[in-house]
Structure 1
Amino acid sequence: MPNDLLAKVMDAAVYAALKHQYQRRAGYDRLPYMNHLLKVTEALIRIGEERDEALLLAAVLHDVLEDTDATHEELALRFGREAADIVLELTDDMALPYMERKWLQVEKARQLSVKARKIRIVDKSTNIRDILSYPLDWPLEKKQNYLDNSIQVVARIRGGNPRLDAWFDETVDWAKQRLEEMEKSIRG
């Protein structure tokens, strides 16, 4: 990765870390939320071999409008209009109930730009891996519902990067096996 791109991604990461500094992931471990943003960005670079500036900036910032006091205009001024617009595409309306937000992700998936689609696929993959790896206090049914929703969303947006599509498919296969193991352990 060129040094100037690395510097810009790191600047966005520091900005995101400050904006998300008091946020934690759900679950018993209460991991810093920033871990998720870094995982998404890292997967785009390592697995997807992506090097597009706006894509990587948007990846590390993808939840900042949804979860913090940041504004679209602030992002556009600091990180460029394209990155800010991608983040806006990926922003859920947090005033809506959880299930409605997930339904809208499916309904609006095809409207996403190619760059937003890539981030959404990796976001879903990393969330699935986290939900099924860490001691999250979600019932098994909610974990299964998240997986099912992710499969529906990604079915509508795949094709922009075969490596990311393949990683999502591997994630789904792993998740189904993991859910089966969890179900067996609950039944005894």
Structure 2
Amino acid sequence: MSSSSSSSDTLLLLETAHFAAIAHAKQVRKNHARTPYINHPLDVARRIAAPGSTLSPSPPVHILQAAMLHDVVEDTEYTADDIEARFGKRVRDIVMECSDDPSLNKAARKQAQIDHAPHKSWDAKHVKLADKLSNLTDLSSPGGVPIGWTRERVEEYFQWGKRVTDAIGKDANPGLSEQLEELYTKATFEFGGKTWKALPGYEEK
């Protein structure tokens, strides 16, 4: 990659991160620490580029952009057209693949993620795998359980996350899939002053 190309890619990624930060500026996670929401999409992009990911160390820029923007349409006032106007149709399309249909109820949205997972584009599969890895890692971190969640809800979320990533398959990004498998096997979470296994009875195959 030429120095000029590298410089333009760096600027594009910084502009994308800046836009995502503005879009999510007033949002926080539902955990006790009230973590700024922007930490999550940035972490999703980081996981795609980090050692362990099959795309490391130089993922396509448009995939990193989509990772940073993947919750913007679903969770903020910005639209798909706003994404396309600023970052192009390719990024918009990936973001929309990663956005739930707001016309569906919560249960239907969760089922749709499972049903649609095998049919997503190669680009979108990287974002979805990293998204689940980021969310599930946060959930199993100290203080990571959202306020108001029950122990059963945490376990159900892990079960659902595994169904989604199993449906995506391991071919898109074997490295992220391996990290997810380790998480499903070993992850625990804190609740009620105790430590619980995230997927009780699950053992690596």
Do they fold alike, i.e. is TM over 0.5?
A: yes
**Structure 1 contact 144–179 (Cα < 8 Å) conserved:** no
Q: Which runs of 5+ in 2 are unaligned?
A: 198-205
Q: Provide the residue aligned with 2:59 in structure 1.
A: 51
**Residue 39 (str. 1) matches residue 43 (str. 2):** yes
Number of aligned residue pairs? 183
Matches within 5 A, 1:154-169: 154-158=165-169, 159-169=171-181
What's the TM-score, normalizing by structure 2?
A: 0.83
Q: Provide the residue aligned with 1:139 in structure 2.
A: 150
* Distance in 1, Cα, partners of 2:18 & 2:185: 34
Aligned-residue Cα RMSD (Å) equals: 2.0
Once the two structures are superposed, what CA deviation does each residue of 1:26-67 show, in whole Å capped at 9, x if it has no partner? Answer: 111110000001110011011321520211110000000000
Q: Provide the residue aligned with 1:10 in structure 2.
A: 14
**Structure 1 contact 132–143 (Cα < 8 Å) conserved:** no
Shift, 1:102, TM fit: 1.1
4+ runs of 1 displaced by more than 4 Å? Answer: 177-181
* Distance in 2, Cα, partners of 1:101 & 1:29: 27
**Residue 88 (str. 1) matches residue 96 (str. 2):** yes
Shift, 1:121, TM fit: 0.6
* Distance in 2, Cα, partners of 1:13 & 1:94: 24
Greater percentage in helix: 1
Once the two structures are superposed, what CA deviation does each residue of 1:68-98 show, in whole Å capped at 9, x if it has no partner? Answer: 1111122112111101100001101244332
SS at match of 2:195: helix
Q: Percent identity?
A: 31
Shift, 1:5, TM fit: 1.7
